[in-house]
Structure 1
Amino acid sequence: MSNDPKRKIPNQIQREVRQRCGFGCIMCGLPIYDYEHMKEWAKVKEHVAEDITLLCPQHHREKTAGRLPIELIQKHNKNPFNLRNGKSSYTPLYYQGDSCEFIIGGNTFKMDSQEFPNQMIPIMIDEIPLFSFILDKGHLLLSALVFDQFNNLILVISENRLMYSTDPWDIQFVGKTLTIREKFRKILLNITFDSPNKVIIDKARLLYNGIELLIKGDRLLVGDENQRLSRNIFRNLQCGIMIGREPQIPIGTGIYLGNINRYTRNSIELKRLAAEILE
C-alpha cells in the first residue's frame, strides 16, 4: 500500500494544508510534521485538503495507537497551535564537533581553530550576524536571523534551536532542507542543515536594513552588480563578509563592503539575476 502512487498527496494540496495549519503540528507547533488524513485513507482513497492535517511524529504515533482521539485532532485543526501564536515551537538542530563550515552562494566559510576567536560569522550586516557558529570545546552552536524586506523576523535559530514565523506564504521542511517562499515560485531562503557541522545556502534573498543579497548556486550578489562574490574561501576569521555599519569593537574580517546600494535595482543584470533566483 505504501508504494501506491495514488497515496502521494499532490504538492498543491500539501501546500494548502501547510498554510492552513501554520506550517507545523496543529497540537504542539513542532516544525517537523507528517501529513495525516483525518478520514482514514484506506476508507476514502482520496486527498481533500480540508480532511488532511499536520501532526508531529509523536502526536502522529499517538493518533495511530488510538491514544489521541480524532475529536481532539479536529478541534486543534480548526485552531492550530502555530496560528494562535504567530510562530512555530522550537525544534532542535543537532550540531557538534570542533570545526564548522558554511557554504553560501558557492563561498566557503570554515573554522577549525580552537584558539580565540571561536566564532564564525559568514555574513554580518550593520553589526547584525545573519548566521553564526560558536565553537566551544566540542560544542557547536548555530544561530541565525532571517528577515523580510520590512525587517520582520521570519526565522530565528538560537544556539541550535529553530523557530519560524507563520507570516511567509509557504514554509516547507523536508529532510534536512528548509524552504521559505514569499509567494508562488519566489524563494526567500533554501537552507540545508547538514549536521554535524555544515550549513548550505544555495538559493536565497537575504534582507536587512535595505541591504539585499541574492544567492543562487555558486553566485552571491551584494547590493548591485558590481559586488559579485563566488568561490571565495574564508578560514578562521571571525567574520567573512561585513556589510554596512561596522561594530564598535573591531573584529577580524575577510571582506568589508561599507558603501552598498540599499534596495535599488537599477541595472538590467540585477533584475535578471533576481528574477532567476526568486523563481
Structure 2
Amino acid sequence: MSKKIKKLKYVNKYGVSRSIPAEVKQIVRRRCGFGCVICGLAIYHYEHFDPVFENLKVKHEPNGITLLCPNHHQNKTSGRLSVETVKKFNAKPKALELGKVNDLFDLDVKSPTVKIGNFTFKDTPVLIQFEYEPIIKLELSEEEEQPHLLSATLRDTNGDIVLEIDKNEWKSSTMNWDCKVEGPRIVIRSAPKKVELIIRTEPPSNLVFEKISMLYKGIFMVCSENMAFNFSLPNGMTFSVESGEIEGGEVGLHLSSLGVAVGGVMLEYLTDEMKPMKIKPGKSKLNKLSFTNTTDSDKV
C-alpha cells in the first residue's frame, strides 16, 4: 500500500507561510541594492524585521523584509544583532552606498575549465577579445599555490556593464533591474523575463557562463549552454558555431570588424588591412561552424 507524503510548509502561529512570493522578493532585492544591507555582500537571506516573521499576521510586505548575509543573518536570529540596528541599515543599504555588490569565485590552483555557452576553454589566458580588447581573461596568480585569477567585463544588449570580475571578485551594479544569487547561480535581468547573464559556479574546477547576451564595440554576442554560439560583427558578418573546445594558445576567440580568429588561427577576414595575429596558437575543435557575410564583394 503506497503512502502519499505531504510536503510540509512552515507557517507561523497566524498561518502565514514562510515562502515569500517571487514578486515581493524582487522588490526587496532592488530596494536593498541586491546585497546585505549591512556589508553589501551579494550572498544573502531574506529577513523579516517589521514585524518579525513570528508576528506576521496577513502577508509578506516588501517594506518589512530586508537582505542580510549569512553572518549578519545568524547574528540577527541568535540575538546578537538587534531589530533596531537592522532597521537603521535597511534605511540606508550598504550596497546602494557602494553602488555595487560583490563576492568571490572559488577557482582551483590548477588550471580550471571555463565554459562559455557550448564553448570550453582550458589553459587559455584570453578567452574572448573584441577588437583586441580582452572581454574575459584568465591569469596565473603571482603567488605559488594560489588560485587562477579570472577577470571580465560583461554587458547587456544595450552595451551597459552589468557585471565585472576583477581577479575572481565579481561585482554587480546596483543599477541593474535585477540581480539574483540563488544556489550556485548569478542571474541578471534587464527587465521582467529578459535574462542578460547567467553564471554558474562548480568549484573548484569549473566556471560556467550559462547565458551571455551582450553588445560592445558594435559586436553582438549571444550564447547559452544548449544553443549555438552566435556573433554579429559591424561589417555584416555573422559567425555561428554549435560547440567548440580550445586549449592553450594565447587567445581563444578573437573578433573584430575585420575578421574572426579561433585559437590564434584566422578563419575569416575581409581585408588585407587585418592586423596579423602574432599570437601563439592553441588546439581547437569546432562543431558545425558557419559564416555569413553581407559584404562578400568587398572581401580581398
> What is the TM-score of this pair, normalised by structure 2?
0.75
| Equivalent position of 1:49 in the other structure | 62
What is the CA–CA distance in structure 2 between the aligned matches of 1:205 and 1:193, rounded to whole Å?
A: 19
Say if 1:154 and 1:165, in contact at 8 Å, map to a contact too. Answer: yes
Using the TM superposition, give the Cα deviation of residue 220 of structure 1 relative to its aligned residue in structure 2, in angstroms. Answer: 1.1
Q: Which has the higher contact order (CA 8 A, sep 6+)?
A: 1
**1:13 to 2:21 alignment:** no
| Equivalent position of 2:248 in the other structure | 236
AA matched with 1:227: F
What is the CA–CA distance in structure 1 between the aligned matches of 2:208 and 2:114, rounded to whole Å?
A: 6
Using the TM superposition, give the Cα deviation of residue 106 of structure 1 relative to its aligned residue in structure 2, in angstroms. Answer: 0.8
AA matched with 1:41: F
What is the CA–CA distance in structure 1 between the aligned matches of 2:104 and 2:121, rounded to whole Å?
A: 23
Say if 2:121 and 2:247, in contact at 8 Å, map to a contact too. Answer: yes
Say if 1:176 and 1:194, in contact at 8 Å, map to a contact too. Answer: yes
AA matched with 1:28: C
* Alpha-carbon distance change, 129 to 2 in structure 1, aligned in 2, over 3 angstroms: farther
AA matched with 1:177: R
Q: Secondary structure at the match of 2:221?
A: strand
* Alpha-carbon distance change, 43 to 75 in structure 1, aligned in 2, over 3 angstroms: same
AA matched with 2:137: S
What is the CA–CA distance in structure 2 between the aligned matches of 1:241 and 1:77, rounded to whole Å?
A: 44
- Give the structure with the larger helix fraction: 1
* Alpha-carbon distance change, 256 to 7 in structure 1, aligned in 2, over 3 angstroms: farther
| Equivalent position of 1:210 in the other structure | 218
What is the CA–CA distance in structure 2 between the aligned matches of 1:102 and 1:255, rounded to whole Å?
A: 22
**1:221 to 2:230 alignment:** yes
Determine which structure has more spread, i.e. the larger CA radius of gyration.
2
| Equivalent position of 1:133 in the other structure | 138
Say if 1:212 and 1:223, in contact at 8 Å, map to a contact too. Answer: yes
Deviations 1:25-58 (A, max 9, x none): 0111110110001122122153111111000111
Structure 1: where are the runs of 5+ without partners? 112-118, 260-279
Using the TM superposition, give the Cα deviation of residue 85 of structure 1 relative to its aligned residue in structure 2, in angstroms. Answer: 2.3
Q: Secondary structure at the match of 1:133?
A: strand
Deviations 1:220-269 (A, max 9, x none): 110168411221111112211111179xxxx962566666xxxxxxxxxx
Q: Secondary structure at the match of 2:100?
A: coil
The count of corresponding residues between Structure 1 and Structure 2 is 248
Structure 2: where are the runs of 5+ without partners? 1-6, 12-16, 271-300
Q: Secondary structure at the match of 1:145?
A: strand
Say if 1:100 and 1:198, in contact at 8 Å, map to a contact too. Answer: yes
| Equivalent position of 2:117 in the other structure | 105
From 193, 197, 207, the equivalent of 2:201 is 193
Deviations 1:145-167 (A, max 9, x none): 11245654321111111111111
Say if 2:158 and 2:214, in contact at 8 Å, map to a contact too. Answer: no
Say if 2:229 and 2:242, in contact at 8 Å, map to a contact too. Answer: yes
AA matched with 1:190: I
1:239-250 superposed matches below 5 A: 239-244=251-256
Say if 1:91 and 1:162, in contact at 8 Å, map to a contact too. Answer: yes
What is the CA–CA distance in structure 2 between the aligned matches of 1:257 and 1:172, rounded to whole Å?
A: 38
> What is the TM-score of this pair, normalised by structure 1?
0.80
AA matched with 1:130: I
Using the TM superposition, give the Cα deviation of residue 107 of structure 1 relative to its aligned residue in structure 2, in angstroms. Answer: 1.4
AA matched with 2:256: G
**1:22 to 2:33 alignment:** yes
